[in-house]
Chain A
Amino acid sequence: MLRDRMSRTTVVAGAALAWALLAGPVHAQTADDLFDGAVVHGIHVTMHSRDWDALRANFTSNDFYPADVTWNGLRVRNVGVRSRGLGSRSGIKPGLELDFAHYSSRGQFLGLRALVLDNLTTDPSMIRERVAFAFMRRLGILAPREVHAELFVNDQSVGLYTVAEPIDPTFVQRTLGNANGVLFEFHWVLPFYATFPGEDLDGYRPLFESRSPQLLSTFDLYDPIRELFRTINEAPAGQFREAVGARLDFDSTLRLIAAEAVLAEWDGVLGYAGMNNFYLYRDAASGQSRLFPWDADHSLFAATYPLLAGANENVLMRRALQDPVLRNLFFTYAADALRAAANDNWLVREIAAQSQQVRPAARADALKPYSNEELETALAELAAFASARPAFVQAQIQQLR
């Protein structure tokens, strides 16, 4: 009996050794592997069944629940999970935030403090945002990384999600090299067109929520934002570029607005109902602010969406376009974006590739709030958009420049 047991042990050990030798050196996985867009990933969340029931029942709440998260064989324990989103909140297919540092200030996963699992309930094509962010990164814009993943909770499929890198101090550190400044998430609470919100600093808090860990006074947080919008609105025409430029990085801002314009983003910085879906980051050294894009699932709206839609209503953009240097800069960046989309049919190929990649998981997603026919229609519309949009944008640039 003992001999049998030893024999089995020897066989198992030998097999393990052979496997290890064949497998070669262990590859340490990184965040780049997590955001490898070549595959649809699998994210496994293990939660107490009562907690998962509670999260779905109270999906409008931001309460955190503990969970273990596994990706590609890597398991991270004691992760804080909460329901997230605005109009996309769902008790059937919840959008989730995974906060690796919620239960320990030292918590992280592949160098990330958090991840966003977008439930894709507001985009029947399920690929708009990932296409948009990939396009922006192609242009050198600091946009979040994003991939598709199938989510499993307690080994039950919850459907197709995107895994997005949140815009937080970790993102700022990665993209800018330091995160010494202050990061704000913009909240749409009313149509806001970059008008002057007023002298009361408390009025800025609902619009701009601090996402930085520093404990700063209301004055230190919001006085620079007040002065930014005061300058945008009150600087004399001849001094606009210089005065606003001291507080706002025009280069990155106009590059982002131009990219959104080419992508026909109708709910972005120049959104149909005012500014929306961006973060504002104020650099500690220069005092200049810049914008990061967020939540692009309303991009690729229509091939004939005007390039300057929303520009006249927005004080910042209206005045920027009145300045010859800034106007030329905007159209230069729009032309750059157009070339990036059209060269080698990049936009057509990207949409086709993502469509092909996610189609099986998207069709199998039983919890998505639309049918497979609607999915296919939406994907076909995006393909048509990619074909027609460059010519329309080209004509608009020639006409408006």
Chain B
Amino acid sequence: MNQLVLSRCTIHAYVAAALLTVAIAVPASAQNGTRSKQDDGARWDDGVFRAGDAVRLEPHARFQTDLLLTDQGEPIDDRFEWGRRRIGLDGELFDRLEFQIERELEAESPWRDIYGDVKITPALRIRAGRFKVPFSMEHTTSGFALDFLERSAAVTAMSPGRDLGVMVHGRLAERLVKYEVGVFKHTDSVEVPVDGNRADVTAGFGTIAGRVTLAPVRDEEDGTTRDLAFGVAFARNTMPEGLYGVTGRALDGERFFDRMYVNGARTRLGFESLWSAGRFTLKGELLQLMDERKQQAVTGEDLSNLIVRGAYVTGVWRVVGEPGKKGTAVDVSGRFDRLAFSSGNTTDEAFTNPRADHVAPLSQRAWTIGATWTVNRWVRLQANAVREQLIDPLGVRDLAPIAPWTTVMRLQFGL
């Protein structure tokens, strides 16, 4: 077990985060006492401001602090860092228009979700603004509700970011089917950070994306299977010419697969599934991203497609707490994920260069074990141990050694 000695600076950071959360939380809880007096007018209701049935406003603030438990030789302040720090406002107006505004504190591109969502019928809703492109179950899960500290490498590398767009979505056949189909202004992010937020929104020429999930079993209390769902997703856009290929990064941020030149269509495909029974949940995804590389050979000819494939399987066991419900809980979880880079041409001699026709294949495998303690609605503590491995099947790279195990702890405050 690691011996942690928190420095003064680190403790100050934790305390500041806690105080800020409590400060925001106090008005909400303080206003709870006035609920009965103001039932017909404006009132605070468990952290939500309501004005009759016409207005619902829900401010929120979320903070994460991460502490790297390995590399004990490093000073603790070098191993401590802020994770996500966000404030936002959700709401609903006139039982017809939902909206969300959220931004990061101190980020280069701070704005995250800014959208309105018009409910026409349960089967037809229209969302417009800036929000996540509908692709991948894990990508569209909030960063504050993940089973692990980070999304799987495949999802992080292959999912599109947020973008300006219009999306039609809804539920059909008594909520058996959920669909989301949208068009977006830009094509892709040049950088896709861990939280999926795009760093460069100027590259490319529009995206069309869609996701359909089928849930034959939902919240079934009596049967063996509580939830069962399957889904497929698709996204396509045109990439401009340039070094915009997808990268691979280890957990410590080190890039192990560099960008490749691309030019042409980028096509993403995804398949997802989820099954839960009793205290156990099993879920996973298969993802593929394919880039055209028109006129990118050194001679100006077309190169074979760049292909990125990935998958993960996650198992979660609810040790303490009510299965399938929010509230105080302790979960233990395990995940295997894989991310692999290759090309359409697999016959010629393989190379690593950004204009190689046969891209030397490289894959990353990661095993993650973790525990999540949801103390209450405001505080969550997570710890993960991750083992990463790089595999170069043709042996054409001089791979730098990576840490066999990385252990990270996260304290999360949210309102």
The residues of A with any CB-CB pair to B shorter than 8 Å are: 46-51, 64, 66-68, 77-78, 80, 102-107, 213
Contact = CB atoms under 8 A, between A and B. Distances in A.
Contact of A66 (B298, B395, B397): B298
Given A67-B298, A68-B298, A106-B395, 4 more contacts: A50-B241, A66-B355, A103-B353, A107-B351
Contact of B349 (A67, A80, A104, A213): A104
Nearest to B358: A78
A199 to B, nearest CB: 23
B363 to A, nearest CB: 17
23 contacts: A46-B298, A48-B261, A48-B300, A50-B241, A51-B298, A64-B353, A66-B298, A66-B351, A66-B353, A66-B354, A67-B298, A68-B298, A77-B349, A78-B349, A80-B353, A103-B353, A103-B356, A103-B396, A104-B350, A104-B396, A105-B397, A106-B395, A213-B398
B360 interface: yes
Contacts of B353: 64, 66, 78, 80, 102-103
Q: Which of B296, B352, B356 has the most CB of A within 10 A?
A: B352
Contacts of B89: none
A105 B298 contact: no
B356 A105 contact: no
Contacts of B296: 48
Interface string B241-273: 100000000000000000001000000000000
A47 B354 CA distance: 12
B298 A103 contact: no
Contacts of B396: 103-106
Contacts of B352: 103-104
B299 interface: yes
B298 A104 contact: no
B351 A103 contact: yes
B355 A105 contact: no
Contacts of A64: 353
Interface residues of B, number: 20
A78 B351 contact: yes
B297 interface: yes
A308 to B, nearest CB: 45
Interface in B113-161: none
B239 to A, nearest CB: 15
A213 B398 CA distance: 10
A64 B351 CA distance: 14
Nearest to A48: B298
A61 to B, nearest CB: 14
Interface in B294-333: 296-300
Contacts of A78: 349, 351, 353, 355-356
A102 B296 CA distance: 19
A155 to B, nearest CB: 11
A134 B356 CA distance: 38
Interface string B273-292: 00000000000000000000
Contact of B360 (A46, A51, A80, A104): A104
Contacts of A107: 351
Contacts of A80: 353
Contacts of B351: 66, 77-78, 103-104, 107
B146 to A, nearest CB: 36
B398 A105 contact: yes
Q: Which of A51, A64, A77, A78 has the most CB of B within 10 A?
A: A78
A39 to B, nearest CB: 27
A49 B398 contact: no
A376 B297 CA distance: 41
Contacts of A105: 395-398
A48 B355 contact: yes
Nearest to A66: B353
Contacts of B356: 66, 78, 103
Q: Which of A50, A66, A107 has the most CB of B within 10 A?
A: A66
Contacts of A106: 395-396
Q: Which 9 A-B pairs have the closest CB atoms?
A: A66-B353, A103-B353, A78-B351, A103-B351, A104-B396, A66-B355, A103-B352, A104-B351, A48-B298
A46 B398 CA distance: 26
Contacts of A67: 298
B228 to A, nearest CB: 47
B306 to A, nearest CB: 14
Nearest to B360: A104
Contacts of B297: 48
A46 B300 CA distance: 10
B272 to A, nearest CB: 36
Interface string B352-373: 1111100010000000000000
B261 to A, nearest CB: 8
A50 B352 CA distance: 19
A343 to B, nearest CB: 47
A46 B299 contact: yes
Nearest to A106: B396
A47 B353 CA distance: 12
A263 B360 CA distance: 48
Contacts of B350: 104
Nearest to B396: A104
Contacts of B360: 104
B298 A47 contact: yes
B84 to A, nearest CB: 33
Nearest to B242: A50
Contacts of A103: 351-353, 356, 396
A324 to B, nearest CB: 49
A53 B132 CA distance: 37
A78 B349 CA distance: 10
Nearest to A64: B353
Contacts of A51: 298, 355
